[in-house]
Structure 1
Amino acid sequence: MPELPEVEVVRRGLASWVAGRSVASVHVHDPRSVRRHAEGAEHFAGTLAGAILGPAVRRGKFLWMPLDGPPRPTALVAHLGMSGQLLVEEEDAPREKHLKVRFGLSPAAGMPGELRFVDQRIFGGLHLSPLCPTPDGGPGGRGDEAPLMPASALHIARDVLDPAFGPAEFHAALRRRTTGIKRALLDQGVVSGVGNIYADEALWAARLHFERPTAGIRRAESLRLHGALRAVMESALLAGGTSFDSLYVNVNGASGYFDRSLNAYGREGLPCARCLAEGREGTIRRDPFMGRSSFTCPLCQRRPRGPGRRAAARPG
């Protein structure tokens, strides 16, 4: 599933290729991909026709573009789900097998004429949502300073690359939960944009086990984890995201290559790079986790002790 770096790469593509252009036409090929638009596919298409797409904005894994045209502040919202893609294409380009929605765009020099939403597994989708003031009065997300965000995304927390979500806010958000640290990282109401891959990578970098309780996490630990999350996200952005197959690509169809730099995720049975560098013989192991997997090094990410976990009870 695309995580923050992959969605940010797509946002940057939309900002470069789509923002500022008007919607000449809308074709909904599969109404399931606009199912979150309560008024239906016809209303979705009719509202967008003629509207100008504003700046591309992201909070966590949610993308949106404010519309200049509808009578009330509204945004086109996209969530890529597990396999959604937003692609810019020439109008005469062959249609993708899983093409769901197609937007004709106003002419722009050197730019393709269509934006396409392609989704093999149909967990993602597009919808229109009214724009509302942000709960904290800050910018809605990356890409726009306006203190507005879609009503459908108001429950989404800020992410670790957001200047308004520093180490202190991150620590407080973790301490408000009584759960394991990885469950908290995957909770988009705690910190947004983190999925299974980058959670494992950041926890490995911070030397924390995925079962470490959040309620007793110390400031030094949360500071280390916040820094690890930022570093992992920024490195993934430089690499264009992580692409294990053709389901994640940028708007121009390019794949990311951060998967070549992974230290924990998907490396079951392989030596731990840190242990190897420090003269130990740690081996990455895989554990079942929430229907998925967690990858850790048993030597440098020690599992918390016993049900009482006295180490977690220290004040933060």
Structure 2
Amino acid sequence: MPELPEVETVRAGLESLTAGAVIVDVDVRRDSCVRLVSGGPEEFRASVVGQRIDEVARRGKYMWMALVPSDDAARPSSQAPRESLSIHLGMSGQFRVHEGPWAEAPEPHPHCRARLSLATDDGAQYTADFLDQRTFGYLHCEAMVEIDDGEPAGAGTRWSVLPASVAHIGRDALDPHLDQGQAVASWRRGSRGIKQVLLDQTLVSGIGNIYADEALWAARVHPERPAHAVTRPRALELLEAAQRVMASALEQGGTSFDALYVNVNGESGYFSRSLEAYGREGEPCRRCGTPLRRAAIGGRSTHWCARCQREWRRTQAR
């Protein structure tokens, strides 16, 4: 599933090509991709056609295009957008952007679920295809809501608003407005295994299965260590490890194992070549040489080194 680095790679690519463009037309090729819209494809099309993409933003794994009416010349520059085209990539969602008018765009890919025709004020035209092989992703037009702290809501936005469906999502690990002390305190509550806590998007968002394993390996923390048994210094080290590993992945365009994740130009990310734990079951740990283990923990495939990441036992706390 695309995680923060992959979604940010897509967001940045979309922003560079679509910010400021007007949505001229929409072709929903599979109704399930707009399943959250009560009126289906017709209502979705009516909601977005004629809207201008003010910016493309992201919080954690959730992405949105902030929309403003294209003919609203009287809108104050200080007024935040009120509507958004929310985007969730699900397990395999992608965007492919083709330069040129709709009529000249390539034949839609078999996994194309929706096609958007875009035009800029200077005459440029683009076709943006939403592809989704496994069909867990979706597009949704919804209202924006204010957030409490008054800071920009996420990457790529200057506004303190975000889609209503994203309001429960915490700031992500790479967000400069993340309160690290508060984040670490939230991670250390309760008896859940620390990996399950890392995957809780309401606390710190953007960390998924791959980067949780990588951060735990880097910080030498066993994935099943209870959250309350992680010391504050170790929790800070874990957060810093997550930030380092995701920043490194972002520099390399994210992690791609197959064609299910590519950027808007159809190019794969290369971070899979740098993974230390995830997907390396039976291979030697690059720190100590011990074969890495894999098991299902909390329903998620988990990889760790039994020597570097010692299992926590209650007797240790006595």
Structure 2 length-normalised TM = 0.91
1:21 aligns with 2:21: yes
Distance in 2 separating the partners of 1:67 and 1:102: 17
CA offset at residue 79 of structure 1?
A: 0.3
CA offset at residue 137 of structure 1?
A: 2.5
Distance in 2 separating the partners of 1:232 and 1:248: 18
Q: What is residue 177 of structure 2 aligned with on the other side?
A: 164
Name the SS of the counterpart of 1:103 in structure 2: strand
Name the SS of the counterpart of 1:215 in structure 2: helix
The one of 88, 107, 126 aligned to 2:97: 88
Within a 5 Å distance, the mapping from 1:1-316 to structure 2 comes to 1-69=1-69, 73-90=82-99, 91=102, 92-107=105-120, 113-275=126-288, 281-305=289-313, 308=314, 310-311=316-317
Equivalent AA in structure 2 for residue 299 of structure 1: R
Q: How many residues align?
A: 305
Once the two structures are superposed, residues 16-48 of structure 1 have per-residue CA deviations (whole angstroms, 9 ceiling, x without a partner) of: 011110011011111100001223221110111
Distance in 1 separating the partners of 2:37 and 2:179: 34
Equivalent AA in structure 2 for residue 258 of structure 1: F
Q: What is residue 78 of structure 2 aligned with on the other side?
A: none
Once the two structures are superposed, residues 153-194 of structure 1 have per-residue CA deviations (whole angstroms, 9 ceiling, x without a partner) of: 111111111112243122111123431100011111111111
Point out the more displaced range, 86-95 or 219-228: 86-95
Percent identical residues: 48
CA offset at residue 201 of structure 1?
A: 0.4
Name the SS of the counterpart of 1:274 in structure 2: coil
Gaps of 5+ in 2: 73-80
Name the SS of the counterpart of 2:116 in structure 1: strand
Once the two structures are superposed, residues 43-65 of structure 1 have per-residue CA deviations (whole angstroms, 9 ceiling, x without a partner) of: 11011111101111000000011
Structure 1 length-normalised TM = 0.92
Once the two structures are superposed, residues 40-94 of structure 1 have per-residue CA deviations (whole angstroms, 9 ceiling, x without a partner) of: 2211101111110111100000001111119981000000000111110243212
Gaps of 5+ in 1: 276-280
Q: RMSD value over aligned CA atoms?
A: 1.8
Distance in 2 separating the partners of 1:112 and 1:97: 23
Whether the 8 Å contact between 1:170 and 1:222 is mirrored in structure 2 is no
CA offset at residue 215 of structure 1?
A: 2.0
Distance in 1 separating the partners of 2:38 and 2:212: 33
Distance in 1 separating the partners of 2:119 and 2:225: 52
Whether the 8 Å contact between 1:17 and 1:111 is mirrored in structure 2 is no
Cα separation, partners in 2 of 1:88 and 1:111, compared to 1, 3 Å: farther
Whether the 8 Å contact between 2:22 and 2:53 is mirrored in structure 1 is yes
Equivalent AA in structure 1 for residue 31 of structure 2: P
